[in-house]
Amino acid sequence: MALAAALMAGCYNDFDNPAPAPVWTDAQVEATGAKLISIAEVKQIFIDQFGSLSGTGSNSSWNDTKYYQFDQDLYIKGKVISNDREGNVYKSLFLQDETAAIEIRLTNGNFLTYHMGEYNEAKTEIPSQWVYVLLRGLYIGNYRMMLSIGNGPTDSYNAVGEHKFYANSNIELADEIAAHVLPGEPATLVVGEDIKVVNSSNYTELGEADFGRLIRFEGLECYYAGVDTQESLYPETYPDYVKPAPLHNGSYEQIYPSWIYTDIRPIVNKPWYEWAFSHNTTNLYGSVCFVYNPNPQYTSDKGVYMVRTSGYSRFSGRRVVKDGAVGTITGIYGIYSKESNYSGGSRDYATYQLTLNRYADLEFAEEDFLTAAEVEALTPADSYVTPDVEGEVD
């Protein structure tokens, strides 16, 4: 493996006369002595080792932080399904083959080396690229029921002094990345084949095997919960308006759309009508709820999804769509939960999330978005400030 990497690096690392980056092929990767394994088989290695995804991603101590180091010469080959150019995907590269998908924990600017383009005009294909990952020495780990591949486990502290245990860490050194994550030939993501299409007729079929996949959700409806909708601004048109009830995550109330502040206990949520919070140098995640389920009660119910957007994304300040707006969202499908039996309801604390690669993957009509005046009128004054760890506001 080292010899092959050195030979390939030597072909293009002439500083004065740079050449195109190497493009790896099946034959060259096989020449390293590694054996191809599917992404589904890689995930199964973890499940065989620890029994399940549920209950193995709590990460509250080293005792319940689960990871496995690959000690054999294996490799996976997948198509790129993520793009970090707009800043919503952060230090991650998602790969997908015909069996499953998984996150590779890397560094910034992955789009420069591992390419994923945009939809063609007919919305049937996306340009992509094959990528090989040599697994020996790397770790597969679980965080809140999402598996990823990276370097060794790590520990840190959050702003309130709590341990943050991670089952693996990012591969950030250029030499390490070059030795493990190898760019291959161009590829194409085909809608209906590589990109699963979900709608109101088949959303109940989504399961654990779909975590990490790029999925096109057609006909999703925006659902406001526990916050005022645009109808509250027009009492003459909607005289019977009633503020919608919040959703529940187990016994906890959750509001959407909102920002979330996690550097204080208890965690704080406030109504927020932009894709994420980016205000006065403070950047926080925003969450917007979309549903197929017409009467959701819990975040863990089937057909309930949260689009969670980073405050550092390029589209964090854009206005969200109106309550009841229907459109199409293409995103990476995931779960956030310490444990889940996928049954939904009060005993299931799962939240299903969609991660956007770019703003263009939100396909809604222009009139579906709130106006600037509506955003200003709907946003409570206390939503513009965030508590710090001492309980003050900034």
Residues 200, 186 share a domain: no
Residues 167, 301 share a domain: no
Q: pTM for this structure?
A: 0.93
Supply 341's token pair: 């039996």
Residues 160, 215 share a domain: no
Residues 65, 122 share a domain: yes
| Predicted confidence (pLDDT) per residue in 101-110, tens digit | 999 999 999 9
Q: What is the mean pLDDT of residues 332-337?
A: 97
Q: What is the mean pLDDT of residues 335-363?
A: 96
Return the pLDDT at 281. Answer: 87
Residues 209, 151 share a domain: no
Instruction: Say whether pLDDT at 12 is over 90.
Output: no
314 belongs to a structural domain: yes
Residues 300, 169 share a domain: no
DSSP string spanning 303-350? TEEEEEE-TTSTTTTSBPBPTT-EEEEEEEEEEE-S---S--STT---
Residues 218, 178 share a domain: no
Instruction: Mark which of 156, 173, 190 sits at the end of a domain.
Output: 190
Q: Which DSSP category does 245 fall into?
A: P
Which residues touch 22 (CB under 8 Å, ≥6 apart)?
8, 9, 11, 12, 183
Residues 185, 203 share a domain: no
295 belongs to a structural domain: yes
260 belongs to a structural domain: yes
Q: What percent of the chain has pLDDT over 70?
A: 93
Return the pLDDT at 10. Answer: 45
Q: What is the mean pLDDT of residues 87-105?
A: 98
Return the pLDDT at 18. Answer: 53
93 belongs to a structural domain: yes
328 belongs to a structural domain: yes
Instruction: Say whether pLDDT at 390 is over 50.
Output: no
Residues 186, 224 share a domain: no
Domain that holds residue 260: 196-384
389 belongs to a structural domain: no
307 belongs to a structural domain: yes
Instruction: Mark which of 160, 175, 190 sits at the end of a domain.
Output: 190
Instruction: Mark which of 190, 208, 242 sits at the end of a domain.
Output: 190
Q: How many domains does the chain have?
A: 2
Q: What is the mean pLDDT of residues 283-294?
A: 96
Residues 69, 126 share a domain: yes
Return the pLDDT at 359. Answer: 97
DSSP string spanning 108-176? S-GGGTS------TTSSEEEEEEEEEE-TT-EEEEETTEEEEEBS-EEEE-TTS-EEEESSB---SHHH
What band does 19 get if pLDDT is binned at 50, 70 and 90?
low
| Predicted confidence (pLDDT) per residue in 40-73, tens digit | 999 999 999 999 999 999 888 898 899 999 999 9
Supply 58's token pair: 């709590």
Residues 253, 183 share a domain: no
- Partners of residue 221 on adjacent β-strands: 291, 326
| Predicted confidence (pLDDT) per residue in 226-271, tens digit | 999 999 999 999 999 999 999 999 889 999 999 999 888 888 999 9
Burial letters 37-72, b for 16+ CB under 10 A, else e: bebeebbebbeeeeeebbbbbbbeeeeebbbbebee
Residues 214, 161 share a domain: no
Q: What is the mean pLDDT of residues 2-11?
A: 48
Instruction: Say whether pLDDT at 11 is over 80.
Output: no
390 belongs to a structural domain: no
| Predicted confidence (pLDDT) per residue in 171-204, tens digit | 999 999 999 999 999 999 999 999 999 999 999 9
